[in-house]
Structure 1
C-alpha cells in the first residue's frame, strides 16, 4: 500500500512561532517514516508558506536560540480545490515541482492564525483532511472568554473572571480596577487569545494591575482578569474516540511549582528552575477518575475534535477547569505526550493516532 502523504505544518504568524517550530522538530524526529511520506511545510513570521528541509535537528528546542522558520525562497502552492489534492512548490529560481497528492495535514500550530480555526477553515474549503481540532472547537478554545462561557453553560466550573477590552480600559480605568478588586487577591491577567503564558502576569495587589494589563494588551485587545484558585495544577490529555469509540483521557499529570510564581514561558520552554512536569500525578484513584471524566466532559462541551489538553485546579472545594488547549505543546518535555507515555502509548504511536484519526474521519 502506498504511504499516505502527511504535511507537517508549523511556524506561523503568532507569538508562539518558535514553540510551534520546536514542537514540529519533535514530531519530525518521531513520526513513523515506514508508514507515512512526510512533507515539512513551514510558515514564516510574515505568513509565507515555504518548503522546509526534512532535517528535524534544525528545529530542536534550544533555550539559548529558539528555532524559527525563515524565508528560503520557496513557495508552497496549495491544491486548487475540487478533487485536486496535488501539492506543488515553486523553487527560488521559478521552477515548479509537484510534491504529490496530500492525504492529511498535521497542523502543529500554536496561537492565532493556526490554532484559532483559520487554518482549519482553509483546509475545509479545499477538502483536505487535517488532524486535530476543527473550526468551532479551535476558535472557542482560542478565545478564553467564550470558552469559559461555553464551559459554564455546560455545568463545568471555571474560575471567576471579568473580560476587559482595550477600549474599556482607556475609557473607564476606575471601573476596570473596581471589577478586578471584586475578584479578590491575587488575580491573573492574561490575553484572551494567546498561549504559552505569553503576556500573562500574576497581580498581588492593585499597584501591579496597570502594568499587567499593558503586558496583556500588547498581545491582544481583549484581556481576562481571573481570580487565582489556590490548589494543585493538574492537566489531562484527551483524544477523540476512533470509529464509534468513546473519547479517551490519559492519566493526569501535575505542574509542581517550587520557587516559581506560576508556570510561565520560561518555566515551560527555557529550562527555568522552579517548575516541574510530573506524570502521572500522585492522586487518589477517585480523583483520577473525576479528572478524566471532567476532562472528557469539557472536551465534548466545546465540540472537541482530535485532541486537547485540559488544565485544572484541584482546590479544597473540588475541580475547576482553567482552559482547554486544542493543539498543546508536543515537544518531548511537554505535558500532553508525557501523559500518554505514562498511560502506555509511545511518542510515535501518539503521532500516528492523530494522523490515523484524521484519515479515518475523511474516509
Structure 2
C-alpha cells in the first residue's frame, strides 16, 4: 500500500490567520512522511489558495508571494487538487485534508462543507459541530440543556446598537459590572474585552461588533481558567487539565496575553481536587458529544474561587497547535506525543469517511 496524500490547509481569511500559520508548522513537522506525502496549501487573508513548496516559506512568511494558485475540486468523483499553472492546469489526487484553520471561514463549517461536497476525508469536526461551536451564543443554547453550569449571558445583534441606551439598560438590568463582551463568532479572544462601567461597555460592544454581527455579554466569573482536550470519534477520550495564568498586566487571557506576553503561563495538571478534575473531563466529553463533535476539540472552563464550582466557558473545534498551545501539551502529558496525536487525527478522518 502506497503513501496517502495529505493536504494541510492553513492561513485563512479570519483574524486568526497568523496563529493558523504557526499551528500549521507544528502539524506539518509532525506528519509521518513514511506514511504520507504532504501538500501545503496556504489561504491568504483575501481568500486566494496557494500551493506552498517549502515549510521554510511559512516560517519566513514569504509563501504568499510564491507558488501556483490551487483549488479543491467539488467533484466527488475526482477528489483532487487542481493546480493552475502557466495558463493550463494539472491535478493531484487527495486522500485526506487537515484544515488547520482557526476562526471564521475555516473552523465554522464552511471549509468542512466544501470537503463534504467533495467527499474528501478531513480532520476534525463536521459541518454542524463546527458551525454551532464557532457561534458562542448557539453553543450556550445547546449547553443550557446539559445541566452543565455556565456564565449567565445576554445576546445582542449589531443592529440593536443603533439604540445604545436601550442595550446598556438591558445589560445593566441583568448584570453588575464587570462584564465580558465577545463577538459570537471569533476565536483566540479576538474582539473580546472586559467592561467595568457603562462607557467601557459601549466601547466593548462596538469593538465586538467590528468582528461579528452577533455579540455576547457575559457575567464575570471569578475563578481559575481551566482547559481540557478531547480526542476521538465513537469513543471520546478527555485529557488531564491545564490552567491558564494570564500576565499580571492583562485583565484576562486575551489575544495579546496568549501570543505576545512572555509572562502568561500555562500549567499542565495543576493541583486540583480529583472530583473537580473528573467533573471537568465528564463535562468536556458531554459538551463535545452534544455539539456532535468529532476528532478534536478543546473545552474551556472556569473553576470558581471558594466553591470549586465548574463553569463552562467555550469549546474550540480546531484548537491551536502552536509551540505554546494547550491542546497538544495536554495529550503529551497523557503520553501521546505530537506525532502520534497527528497520526490519530488523520486516522480518525479516514475511518469516518469509510464508516
| Equivalent position of 1:339 in the other structure | 330
Secondary structure at the counterpart of residue 42 of structure 2: strand
| Equivalent position of 2:201 in the other structure | 209
| Equivalent position of 2:123 in the other structure | 131
| Equivalent position of 2:94 in the other structure | 102
Residues 238 and 284 in structure 2, CA contact (< 8 A), matched pair in contact too: yes
Gap change, CA 1:109 and 1:68, over 3 Å in 2: farther
The CA deviation at 1:69 is: 5.2
1:84 maps to 2:78: yes
Give the Cα–Cα distance (whole angstroms) in 2 for the partners of residues 73 and 297 of structure 1.
43
| Equivalent position of 1:28 in the other structure | 28
| Equivalent position of 2:255 in the other structure | 265
The CA deviation at 1:29 is: 1.6
Residues 112 and 194 in structure 1, CA contact (< 8 A), matched pair in contact too: yes
Gap change, CA 1:221 and 1:77, over 3 Å in 2: closer
Gap change, CA 1:224 and 1:353, over 3 Å in 2: same
Secondary structure at the counterpart of residue 9 of structure 2: strand
Structure-to-structure mapping, 1:13-24, within 5 angstroms: 13-24=13-24
1:70 maps to 2:64: yes
| Equivalent position of 1:179 in the other structure | 170
Give the Cα–Cα distance (whole angstroms) in 1 for the partners of residues 74 and 217 of structure 2.
44
Q: State the superposition RMSD in angstroms.
A: 1.6
| Equivalent position of 1:279 in the other structure | 268
The runs of at least 4 aligned residues of structure 1 exceeding 6 Å deviation read none
Give the Cα–Cα distance (whole angstroms) in 2 for the partners of residues 327 and 186 of structure 1.
29
Deviations 1:205-241 (A, max 9, x none): 2221111111111111111111011111000000124
Give the Cα–Cα distance (whole angstroms) in 2 for the partners of residues 279 and 358 of structure 1.
27
Give the Cα–Cα distance (whole angstroms) in 1 for the partners of residues 296 and 272 of structure 2.
23
Instruction: Specify which of 341, 345, 350 is matched with residue 341 of structure 2.
Output: 350
Structure 2 length-normalised TM: 0.94
Secondary structure at the counterpart of residue 153 of structure 1: coil
Gap change, CA 1:339 and 1:168, over 3 Å in 2: same
Residues 240 and 247 in structure 1, CA contact (< 8 A), matched pair in contact too: yes
The CA deviation at 1:98 is: 3.0
Gap change, CA 1:273 and 1:180, over 3 Å in 2: farther
Residues 159 and 226 in structure 1, CA contact (< 8 A), matched pair in contact too: yes
Unaligned runs of 5+ in 1: none
Secondary structure at the counterpart of residue 64 of structure 2: coil
The CA deviation at 1:165 is: 1.1
The CA deviation at 1:125 is: 0.7
| Equivalent position of 1:309 in the other structure | 298
The CA deviation at 1:18 is: 1.0
Secondary structure at the counterpart of residue 19 of structure 1: helix
Unaligned runs of 5+ in 2: none
Deviations 1:286-321 (A, max 9, x none): 222111111101111111111110000011441111
Deviations 1:132-164 (A, max 9, x none): 010000000111111100111222221011111
Give the Cα–Cα distance (whole angstroms) in 1 for the partners of residues 187 and 80 of structure 2.
33
Secondary structure at the counterpart of residue 82 of structure 1: coil
Give the Cα–Cα distance (whole angstroms) in 2 for the partners of residues 59 and 320 of structure 1.
38
Give the Cα–Cα distance (whole angstroms) in 1 for the partners of residues 74 and 211 of structure 2.
34
1:294 maps to 2:283: yes
Residues 44 and 69 in structure 1, CA contact (< 8 A), matched pair in contact too: no
